[in-house]
Amino acid sequence: MASLRRKPRSPFFFACFSLPDGRRTQRSTGKTNRADAMKTAVEWEQASVQRYSEGQFRRVLSDISQQIHGAPIDSPSVSDYFTRWIGAKGLETKAVTVTAYENALKGFLTHLGDRASQPIHYVTKADVSAWRDGVAKKSSPATANIKLKIIRVFFTSAWRDGIISDNPAAKVPTLKSAEAIRRPFTVAQVKILLALADEEWRGLILAGFYTGQRLRDLALLSWNHIDMEQGLVRFATSKTGRNQSIPLARPLRVYLTDLSVNDNPNAPIFPKAHAIASSNKASAQLSRQFSDLLSDAGLVAKQTKAEQNHESTGKGRSTARSRNALSFHSLRHTMTSLLKATGSGEAVAMDIIGHESSAISQHYTHVEDSAKKKAISKLPDITA
């Protein structure tokens, strides 16, 4: 039976009640009135004895919170908390990251269906696991793992806000990926691509080969990012916000010098790619164009439109997309391999690529532009 007690130096009554296993416990009611405190103690014991679910128990606590503090416990629906959370992220992170968050979470809400309008603490590990498996079937294990990390961040935020008692997504493991391992290009392969590429893609390939940067970041470059006098390209990466300062290799500098420079410093260097990169489907469209170039060069198998849309399987887009070992991202691996092959230290190579290497993070090494220029000058001339 529930009872009350008072502790020395505390103005509040403590509720003493039994747990389902028979053990007695004590909790402060936060009340100084005996009658009110006794009512709370009885409600807590009833909730414990009847083995309430978390949702039921939160409703009891919400009523008690209303009585004590004049406000119920915050218990938004999944969709309501998503709206609140994504709105805050819009002020905290870059637009491209917010878009990725929105895409992943909207897919999760669609998976929940009508239950998305129920309190967020009703979501279980099984819900997240089923959604993860569905994403993997439609795309790939790697994509499912990336989106799972976003869902974990979402529920971690709800946990930190005190809305849920634990994170159901944290209990869901990532999947093993069976995708093809990305490999670097050979210099001969890059020369073949340059020979087939149009003027703009030729510049993107040169930039990818000699800077090791991601396709979207290169596509978004404007003339104000180029310092011809110092021979540097300076920009912040869209994925991590890292400030990059990379020396211009001679072949890339020659290409930029030969372009018709716009009087507007904000004008894009690669107008067509820039227009695509500024859209929500930037990665897919640009990657598809580069994939077509790879197939024209005979470096990957050419796919028909039906195969690209998965029509040959009769399942539309419900099947995972096939992956190639070569992609634009392979140019990052190419540059890393070449820099190390020419004797550049790890700190120099990783600073150019944009990775936080152990050599930099552990020893706080500052890599001078002169060291990077020396390393890049040793790279082969793929225009020769």
pLDDT in tens, 97-141: 888 899 999 999 999 999 999 889 889 999 999 999 999 988 888
3-state secondary structure of 212: coil
Do 234 and 370 lie in one domain? The reply is yes
Any domain includes 382: no
Distance CA 252, CA 211 (A): 9
Give pLDDT, residue 311: 43
Do 192 and 167 lie in one domain? The reply is no
Edge-to-edge, what's the strand order for the sheet holding 226-227? 226-227, 232-236, 243-247
Do 221 and 340 lie in one domain? The reply is yes
Do 240 and 356 lie in one domain? The reply is yes
Cβ partners under 8 Å of residue 211, min gap 6: 218, 233, 246, 252, 335, 352
Any domain includes 179: no
- The letter for the amino acid at 314 is G
| CATH number for 85 | 1.10.150.130
Do 234 and 324 lie in one domain? The reply is yes
Any domain includes 180: no
Last residue of a domain, which of 69, 91, 115?
A: 69
Do 52 and 136 lie in one domain? The reply is no
Any domain includes 362: yes
Do 153 and 41 lie in one domain? The reply is no
Q: How far does the chain reach from its first CA to its final CA, in angstroms? A: 90
Any domain includes 341: yes
* Residues of the domain holding 11: 3-69
Q: How many domains does the chain have?
A: 3
Do 197 and 290 lie in one domain? The reply is yes
Its pTM stands at 0.58
Do 148 and 252 lie in one domain? The reply is no
Give pLDDT, residue 359: 41
- The letter for the amino acid at 205 is I
Do 248 and 141 lie in one domain? The reply is no
What are the tokens at 265? Answer: 């410093």
Do 201 and 325 lie in one domain? The reply is yes
> Can you state the percent helix, strand and coil of the chain, rounding each to 5?
55, 10, 35
Any domain includes 352: yes
Any domain includes 287: yes
Do 224 and 273 lie in one domain? The reply is yes
| CATH number for 347 | 1.10.443.10
Last residue of a domain, which of 171, 195, 214?
A: 171
Closest C-alpha to 373, from 201, 253, 256, 216: 253
Last residue of a domain, which of 12, 42, 69?
A: 69
Residue 5 — φ and ψ, nearest 5°? -150, 160
Any domain includes 28: yes
Distance CA 208, CA 332 (A): 7
Task: Give me the residues of the chain with pLDDT under 70, please.
Answer: 19-22, 47-74, 177-182, 261-262, 280-283, 303-324, 355-366
